[in-house]
Every structure is written in structure tokens, then in C-alpha cells.
Amino acid sequence: MLNLIIFGPPGAGKGTQAIKLAEKYELIHLSTGDILRKELSSATALGVEAQKFMDEGELVPDEIVVGMIKKCIEENEDAKGFIFDGFPRTTAQAGSLDAMLEEKKMPIKAVLFLEVEQEELKTRLLNRGKDSGRTDDKDEEIIANRLAVYLSETSPLLEFYEKEEKLQTIHGMGEVEEIFVRLSEVVETLDEEKSECCSNEDESEKSEDYEETEETEEEKCECDDSYVNVYVEIGDVKITNGRLNIEIGDFELKKGDVKVRLGEFELDGADVKIEIGDFEFED
């Protein structure tokens, strides 16, 4: 699954490029701005609530956008991947997105950051404001506020994704098509990394000296969607008097590892019962 975030300030070209990337790589394009504008034009309760924030160039509250994204992900579980456009925009949103994707075992592969000069951003937005229905593009003060909100609330995420080694910075000045070529080159590198990783995995599995380390286990997990690692770790237990029941359910895995580690038990007159269910592996 290829999950991407297209990132950048207002006017960076996120929407323009996300549509093209979604088409080329068969991804679902999730734009929080577009979803909100749709709600607004249908005058739903959500749209009415969001309008007052959007008109001022402020961010719509996290719980509203996180709920919208969650719903869209759940409605498209069989997708080849998602391209998130305009989301996340706060650290809280980034945390929620990570949690949602972690739960579904489909992490973000890369964050594509479009770097564009400030003056160019303003020019693009004001140009669009001349003939589009977007009220937030018509007023220089609102545009200035959107850029300031980006700087204070959204740009700190760059550091967050850099630390996660997911940040890819792309020069966002120039013609739409040339920027798209730059983005596509980055996306294709991501695919190459994936196949290299898978071919390494095959070699290491053949090697007699092969020792399984945490790192290689992670690689396996990323390379092969059907490969599942299950870790159950129960820490040290100290009971003076009582009963300890640990029950771990049945595992049915197509391909993967199950590792159960039980810590040290220090018991004094206590009963311990550990039950681990059936394991069924295809591979």
C-alpha cells in the first residue's frame, strides 16, 4: 500500500499535484479542503460549523477533520493507497493519522513537501481568487492569515516527519508538469527502495549465518504486505498472594512470526495459569 502526504503552504500546488499523482499511481485522493467545501456547499451542519473558520483562514477544529478522514479511510479499505492533501495540519492531526494507519498496518511511506517562495504563493492564490468561488483567495488579509497559520501550526510537522525519515523536499517552483516529473521521480525511488529491500530479504534468508534481528524483522514487515509479526510481551510479575491468569488467543497467520516473551515471575504462594491458543500457519 502506498500512502503519501502532500505537504506545503497554501498555494504550494498540493491539490494540483495530488490529483495527478492519484491518477498515475491509482491512489485515493483525500483533500480535507475539498471535503469541507463540499459540506459547505451542501449546507450540512458540519459545513456550517466549518465555514466560520475557513472564511477567516483559520483551521477547522481537529476533531471535525480527523472524523472526516477516518470515515474516508474506512470507506476505502481496499484502496491501493491514499494521498493525503491538506491533512495533517497540526501535531494532533498527525498523531491521529499515525494511530489510524498503525491500527490498519498501513503506515505513511513519504511526506512530499512542495517548497515554494512566499511571493509566488500569494500570486497564485490571488490569481485563483479572481475567477474561483473561493472567498479565502480573494482577500490579501485572509491569505496572509492562512500563511501565518501554516507557519505556526502546520510547518512544525516538517520536523516531526524529518525525524521519522519520511520527509522528501521537492522544488515546487516552475511549470505544473515539471514539478510533477520531480514528484514522480521521488515516488518511483520509494518503489525502488521497496524492491531492493525485498531482494535483500531473499538473500539473507538463504544465508547460513543469517541471524534474525529486530531490524530485519521490520524490513520483512514493510516488504511483504502479507507478512505479519505478532509480539506479545508480558513484563515481570511479582505476586505475593493471588492468582495470575494469562490467556493469549488463537493465531491464524498466512505468513509471519509470533514471538511471546514472558518476563520473570516472582511468586509467593500464588497460582499461575498461562494458556496460549492454537497456531495455524500457512507458511
Residues that bind ligand AP5 (CB under 6 A): 8, 10-16, 32-33, 36, 53-54, 57-60, 65, 86-87, 89, 93, 124-125, 128, 136, 146, 175-176, 179
**Minimum CB distance to ligand AP5, residue 189 (Å):** 21
Residue number, 153 or 257, with CB nearest to ligand AP5: 153
Residue number, 130 or 163, with CB nearest to ligand AP5: 130
**Minimum CB distance to ligand AP5, residue 153 (Å):** 9
Residue number, 86 or 256, with CB nearest to ligand AP5: 86
**Minimum CB distance to ligand AP5, residue 52 (Å):** 10
Give the integer Cα–Cα distance in Å for 210 and 178. 44
Q: How far is CA 142 from CA 8, 148, 160, 197, 256, in A?
A: 17, 10, 27, 46, 52
Give the integer Cα–Cα distance in Å for 7 and 87. 8
Residue number, 121 or 223, with CB nearest to ligand AP5: 121
Count CB neighbours of 26 within 10 A.
11
- DSSP symbols for 19-85: HHHHHHHT-EEEEHHHHHHHHHHTT-HHHHHHHHHHHHTPPPPHHHHHHHHHHHHHHTTT-S-EEEE
Give me the residues paired with residue 244 across strands. Answer: 272
**Minimum CB distance to ligand AP5, residue 67 (Å):** 11
**Minimum CB distance to ligand AP5, residue 30 (Å):** 10
Count CB neighbours of 23 within 10 A.
10
Give the integer Cα–Cα distance in Å for 172 and 14. 10
Residue with the closest Cβ to ligand AP5?
Answer: 33
Are 101 and 82 in contact, with CB atoms under 8 Å apart?
Answer: no
List all residues 6 or more positions away from 190 whose beta carbon is below 8 Å from its beta carbon.
Answer: 2, 109, 110
Residue number, 8 or 256, with CB nearest to ligand AP5: 8
**Minimum CB distance to ligand AP5, residue 6 (Å):** 8
Residue number, 146 or 220, with CB nearest to ligand AP5: 146
